Structure 1
Amino acid sequence: MRRIILCLLLMTGLSYAQQIKIGEKVPDFTLDTVLNASSKSFKSADFKDKIIWIEFWATWCGPCISAMPHLEQMQAKYKDKLQVITVTNEKEERIRQFLKNKPFKLWFAIDGAEQLRKYFPFAVIPHSILIDTEGNLFATAAPEEITEKIIDSLWAKQKPKINVKTDNLTTDYIQTYFKVPDTVKERVLWQPEIKGGPGMLHTFALDSNFKGRRLTFINVGLNNMYMRAFGDFPYGRTIDKVKDKNRYCLDIIVEKPQELIPALKAELASKFNLHANITPYDKEVLLLKIEDQNLFNKVTRNSSGKRTYFARHGEIDQQGITMNDFADFLEIFGYGKFVLDETGNQEKFDIKFSFAPEDPQSLTKILSNMGLRLEKAHRKIDMLTIE
């Protein structure tokens, strides 16, 4: 079973000419849509003499949501000294949907034009911005770095030490760090971690020259490399006994597609003294089945012959996808449980929808409207063990 691997770079075509540097005055800004607040819109001047904490986040970002209880606690403790404002470019409807299932008491601002991101650019979220009582940018940080000690010191007009988060704002990591002529037939290039950059795997699936014969790992752990080399295993089907915390970069090119995975395995074996074993385990699974054939017949069939791959928690937009591929999406980005395709259907579809990951029933309703259902069962599941 081939697995979906998502590479999500948060860099867009934004211009960073307006970027504010640490110590500089932050220009006045307006928040036109703020949920959970006493008013729907605010100006930065409304927070004069307060410390401002801007938290860039998204509903599909697990670490962002995990950080929110900390933000709530800090806001409650320093309600007269601190204003926490979470900021996302997602639609207001989606944030209201999120808050219905995750009723955090923070302020949630919608910045669809990403004006604040132009002032405070980032590559990876969560991304915290701390502005002192004088209106100057004090730090960019991870949310856990903003502690009571930091807030107390800032309020006392001091300049406490904080671990600054400095993102790598490169917009094209392949061209910047792994550029190679199209004529190259073979290459193996290891590089150290690219500081401040996101973790990603580029498969070149839409590249007519390198498709099937090139893989580029950027800032990934060894487990990711082994997962790819031994069958595209997702995290949920991997037992990692090594727990190597290092991050690696590898670009591997071969002449023929059938040589790519063997070359990757050989390269890993030459560099690391690890073993990968695939063992079947009896697991509770969800079986994807057709419930209503008439509704299923209305699901858009692919006619273009084009295959696309966009998927993340809460959203899918893929063309040329099989039901087996769709089961993979449901497992990785939907239910977080083993999902197996037992529809018996081999057609290719164009599937596009969004749902609320915090509310599994929202996805179940979508499946029902597609004429599909999930049924609990037990099956033997291959698990990858790295040791």
Structure 2
Amino acid sequence: MLRNLLVIFSVILIELIGAKPSCGQHIPTIGSPLPDFELSDVRDYSTHKISNESFKEKWLFLDFWFKGCSSCIKSLPKINRLQTEFKDEIVFMMVGKNDIRYNHGIEDLYDRLRAKQDLNIPHVFDSVLVKKWGIKAMPHVVIVDPTGVVYAITDGRDFTSEKIRDLLAGKKISFFSHDDLDSSKYTGDSTPIVKSELRKWSGGRQLIQDIPEYVNSLKDDQKKTMPLQVSMASLDMLYKMAYVGRFIWSRDSNDSIYYKFYPNPILEIADSSLFEYDFKFNVGKGTYDYSLIMPVSFITKERIMETMQTDLRNAFGYDVTVAVRNVEVWELVVSSEKLLKKSKSKGGQTIVSENFAGGFFAKNLPFRRLIEFITYYISDGEPPFFDATKLVHNIDIKLDVDMTNRHLIKSALHKYGLDLVKTRRPMQVLIIGDGKL
């Protein structure tokens, strides 16, 4: 099961990656009036039909999402709180992409989440506007001021009550800059043959690539010299890229590194302030840009990692080692053999609920895959999850709970003789210590 992330915390590319606005079509542009639009069948709002004219004298946050976007779904409780807090000044309008091919059932998914999370957010379902405005990545939030002018385009990661209060008070507020990623935008001729540069974040949009992903992108065109570019990365991300080759790893059972390498470096340094960063309020604080150019024929994962390691050592002087340490993890365990037997599958076709953020159902599911599903929507900030049951049979299971809430999932598992417990396991860990300069 593929888990997202470009970016720390989750921007997901939607299915129609190639969708582009047609020639002459207007798209939202910061500083310009919002292009005309109309949406029908609006729910949890005072009217069932909306357009540009519906929001005069109020701020409008048009929040586009789709059913496979875990970041979008995880943000719903926060958006709900903000809508409640600022209901007199702002309309948060959720726009769910409901194309039949990829997002069939998104309405039912939202209804289940609405009931379980007590959501009261104005929402509508539409796919035409997504295509018309050329939206490729979600969450995608278009912020429009009371005069109808686009104020910002963001993914909403840094929405806080404090920032929004300042916005309403007339202060100039910057939100995380959101730009759909498209490597084809790079068309320049890289004059330098070999060059690497590490600097404090320059204020551009966030761009973070795994090194294997970058290397593979060059295989299609050996004549093209496209630099490795990293923007707005925290220092721990850069160290993970330099020593592991990746800045994040998923809970997908096919991602072996998830079960071997602990996601968070251990800092054994006197002053860890350089590793402090902010993606919420003071966006970009404590982050860095990194770029690397070298001949395409010379590029390998190992050479890029060696170059990054040298650059980081020269810049910060830390000693870095990879060692095995006992670290905190979650384990799925059997708590009752008697209850567990009741979940053993009676056979038949394997069926898994298509939209399970609002509740998970599976029939004849291989037990080894259960851990993927029950942790899919849980925060990426949690320690790694392991299946410690050693069970190989198939199961029938129904967890009628909010699947973004670990506590509710844990409680629902008890019915099937299962539990999630915290323990410690030996894992490889990146250890960063003070160097001898």
- TM-score normalised by the chain length of structure 1: 0.62
Aligned equivalents of 2:82 and 2:375: distance in 1? Answer: 29
Distance 1:263 1:282, change over 3 A: same
> Partner residue of 2:125?
110
What's the offset of the Cα at 1:189? 3.2
Q: Relative to structure 1, is the Cα distance of residues 178 and 363 closer, same or farther in structure 2, using a 3 angstrom cutoff?
A: farther
Deviation at 1:166, TM superposition (A): 8.0
d(CA) in 1 for partners of 2:308, 2:347: 39
SS for the counterpart of 1:201 is: coil
Match of 2:219 among 209, 213, 228: 209
Q: CA RMSD in A?
A: 5.3
Q: Deviations over 1:55-80 (max 9, x none)?
A: 425462256753542332010xx2xx
Q: Is the 8 A contact 1:221 1:248 kept in 2?
A: no
Aligned residue in 2 for 1:54: 61
Contact 1:169–1:197 under 8 Å retained in 2: yes
- Equivalences for residues 260-299 of structure 1 within 5 A: 260-277=304-321, 278=323, 280-287=325-332
| 1:309 paired residue number | none
Residue 349 of structure 1: aligned partner:
none
Matched AA of 2:5: L
User: Are the counterparts in 2 of residues 30 and 42 from structure 1 also a CA contact under 8 Å?
Assistant: yes
Question: Match for 2:92 among 84, 88, 98?
Answer: 84
Is the CA contact 2:231–2:289 (under 8 Å) kept in the aligned structure 1? Answer: yes
Separation in structure 1 between the aligned mates of residue 372 and residue 36 of structure 2, nearest angstrom: 46
Structure 2: segments with no counterpart, 5+ residues: 99-105, 222-226, 250-261, 278-285, 335-339, 352-356, 359-366, 393-400
User: Partner letter of residue 228 of structure 1?
Assistant: M
Q: Whole-Å Cα distance in 2 between the matches of residues 252 and 331 of structure 1?
A: 38
Q: Distance in 1 between matches of 2:34 and 2:422?
A: 56
Which residue is 1:352 aligned to?
none
Contact 2:12 2:139 (C-alpha < 8 Å) held by counterparts: no
Secondary structure in 1 matching 2:60: strand
- Counterpart of 1:358 in structure 2 is 404
Distance 2:348 2:110 in 1: 32
> What displacement does 1:326 show?
9.1
Instruction: Give the secondary structure class of the aligned counterpart of 1:15.
Output: coil
C-alpha contact 1:36 1:108 (8 A) present in aligned 2: yes
1:98·1:358 contact (CA, 8 Å) conserved in 2? no
Q: Is the 8 A contact 1:28 1:43 kept in 2?
A: no
2:242 maps to 1:224: no
Q: Is the aligned partner of 1:72 residue 2:88?
A: no
TM-score by length of 2: 0.56
Cα distance change on mapping 1:358 and 1:340 into 2, 3 Å: closer
Aligned length: 336
Mapped partners of 1:384, 1:363: distance in 2: 31
| Deviation readout 1:273-305 (Å, 9 max, x if unpaired) | 2244545135352148999897899779xxxxx
**Residues 376 and 25 of structure 1: is their aligned pair in 2 closer, same or farther, counting only changes over 3 Å?**
closer
Aligned-residue sequence identity (percent) comes to 11
Change (3 A) 1:128 1:269: same
Ranges in structure 1 where 5+ consecutive residues have no aligned partner: 153-159, 301-312, 315-322, 347-354
